[in-house]
């Protein structure tokens, strides 16, 4: 699959860095052209972004619902008869994210657990996250667990406070925000647990059908729109009025006042202070004139 095969309305995330600080920029796919993928324009304080270095891109394709991650070749602002957009280029084929990897969902609910079948000594725990293959639990500081211990975990979740029971085996020990935690594997997934994971997945993602498609010109077919945009791209027109903001790991800092047209070096407080001092100077000058009289 090529980047220009991405469907209209697909959500696009771009991971970039400015002076070592990571940022995530969201936009939306319009349609693919021979040069790459046309997406909605990305601006920062009225300036079009231009990515000088390859950036990590993540797209959830509206057609198949799969997530594609890749490195862009370039991401540049372009001008067309329908307005200004960005063009994402990628020279490599796109591969979907490994769908076999179990997706984890945060639960963060208080629960109880028994260790190695000892139901007379239940321990408190917090169900941190959950997947089809495993569960992670935050445990008390005094609770000692080792790999191979069998746990029976119980917790309530949802508006109806449905009770979930999971049999699991400790795989590793780790820390979550300096709190003791264990990662456990799940061998038998119950119907209740599958329902919970399905519910969490729907909460996390917007339904693809609910994402509105963008039509640049409803009066003509999509294929004709693509041809017209191709013609405009061939002219190599540059967006007018708004200058470009270059984004790179060693590039411009967009928070620098020198890069923001609407911000001057003088702050509002400095300006008021200067006006106040100027007013005082005039009053002193007037008093001196009266004394001379």
For residue range 136-150, list pLDDT tens digits in order: 999 999 999 999 999
Domain of residue 146, CATH code: 2.40.10.220
**CATH number of the domain within which 61 lies:** 2.30.110.10
Rounded Cα–Cα distance for residues 107 and 153 (Å): 13
CA angle 43, 44, 45 (to 5 degrees): 115
Q: Specify whether 241 is located in the same domain as 286.
A: no
Q: Are residues 240 and 274 in the same domain?
A: no
pLDDT recorded at residue 174: 92
> 26-40, 99-113, 199-213, 223-237: which range is least confident on average?
199-213
CA dist., res. 13 & res. 59, Å (int): 6
Does 20 have pLDDT greater than 70? no
Higher pLDDT residue, 201 or 73?
73
| H/E stretch holding 228 | helix 222-234
Token pair recorded at residue 34: 């021979």
Indicate the pLDDT class of residue 153, thresholds 50, 70 and 90.
very high
- Please provide the average confidence, as pLDDT, over all residues in the chain: 80
Give the pLDDT confidence score for residue 240 in this predicted structure. Answer: 61
Number of separate domains in the chain: 3
177 alpha-carbon distance from chain centroid = 22
Lowest mean pLDDT among 27-36, 93-102, 228-237, 254-263: 254-263
Q: Stretch 39-49: mean pLDDT, rounded?
A: 80
CA distance linking residue 247 with residue 55, whole number of Å = 10
Last residue of a domain, one of 204, 234, 257: 204
Residue 33 sits in the same domain as residue 50: yes
122 and 195 belong to one structural domain? yes
Same domain, 89 and 228: yes
Calculate mean pLDDT across residues 226-237. Answer: 84
> Chain centroid to CA 76: how far?
20
Inside any domain, residue 180: yes
Q: Do 7 and 55 have their domain in common?
A: yes
Is pTM beyond 0.85 here?
A: no
pLDDT at position 127 over 50: yes
Q: 276 is in which domain, residue-wise?
A: 265-293
């Amino acid at each position: 699959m090529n980047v220009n095969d991405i469907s209209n309305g697909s959500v696009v995330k771009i991971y970039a860095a400015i002076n070592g600080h990571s940022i995530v920029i969201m936009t939306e796919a319009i349609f693919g052209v021979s040069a790459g993928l046309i997406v909605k324009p990305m601006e920062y304080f009225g300036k079009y972004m231009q990515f000088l270095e390859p950036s990590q891109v993540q797209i959830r394709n509206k057609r198949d619902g799969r997530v594609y991650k890749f490195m862009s070749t370039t991401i540049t602002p372009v001008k067309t008869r329908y307005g200004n957009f960005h063009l994402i280029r990628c020279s490599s084929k796109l591969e979907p994210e490994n769908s076999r990897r179990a997706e984890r969902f945060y639960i963060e609910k208080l629960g109880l657990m028994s260790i190695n079948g000892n139901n007379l000594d239940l321990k408190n725990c917090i169900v941190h996250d959950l997947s089809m293959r495993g569960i992670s639990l935050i445990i008390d500081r005094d609770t000692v667990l080792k790999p191979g211990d069998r746990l029976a975990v119980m917790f309530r979740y949802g508006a109806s406070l449905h009770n979930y029971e999971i049999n699991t085996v400790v795989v590793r020990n780790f820390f979550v925000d300096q709190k003791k935690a264990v990662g456990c594997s799940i061998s038998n997934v119950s119907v209740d647990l599958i329902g919970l994971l399905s519910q969490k997945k729907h909460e996390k993602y917007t339904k693809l059908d609910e994402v509105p498609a963008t039509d640049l010109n409803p009066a003509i077919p999509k294929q004709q729109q693509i041809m017209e945009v191709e013609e405009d791209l061939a002219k190599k027109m540059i967006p007018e009025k708004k200058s470009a903001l270059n984004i790179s790991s060693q590039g411009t800092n967009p928070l620098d006042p020198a890069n923001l047209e609407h911000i001057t070096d003088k702050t509002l407080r400095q300006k008021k202070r200067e006006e106040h001092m100027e007013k005082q100077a005039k009053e002193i000058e007037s008093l001196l004139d009266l004394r001379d009289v």
